[in-house]
Amino acid sequence: MHHNQPAGIGKLFSIVALLEGLTWAGLLIGMFLKYTTKTTELGVVFFGPLHGIVFISYVVVTVLAAVRLRWPLWATLVAVLAAVPPLVTIPMEMWFKRRGLLSDPAARNAAIAQTPIPR
């Protein structure tokens, strides 16, 4: 397994992080339409409960990923806090993937061990 290939829980984390960001954006658009333009409540009616379910799923998957993939505490805190502002889970997931945090810890450590030390 290449060190940047996400493990099973890493793939699930990627999907849920994307959905969390998208449903958050949908809810914000819905709130804008409901409270600012006063045109429709459908966005809030649809994205409110959907985002709630996805947000809870994101937190659960984040904790599972942190434990299974042996994330350092800073990474776990960043991942949980990324769900608070809108759309931050998407770039955070891309950054975690680049750092190898979504891959199996053994594969990640093997890749680090094989990296030559610059002299």
Per-residue pLDDT, averaged over 55-71, amounts to 97
Instruction: State the pLDDT confidence band at 111, using cuts at 50, 70 and 90.
Output: low
Between residues 110 and 89, which one has the greater pLDDT?
A: 89
Which pLDDT value is given to residue 80?
Answer: 96
Which pLDDT value is given to residue 66?
Answer: 97
Per-residue pLDDT, averaged over 16-45, amounts to 95
Long-range contacts made by residues 105-110, C-beta under 8 angstroms, separation at least 24? 105/69, 105/70, 107/1, 107/2, 107/3, 107/5, 107/7, 108/3, 110/3
Which pLDDT value is given to residue 6?
Answer: 74
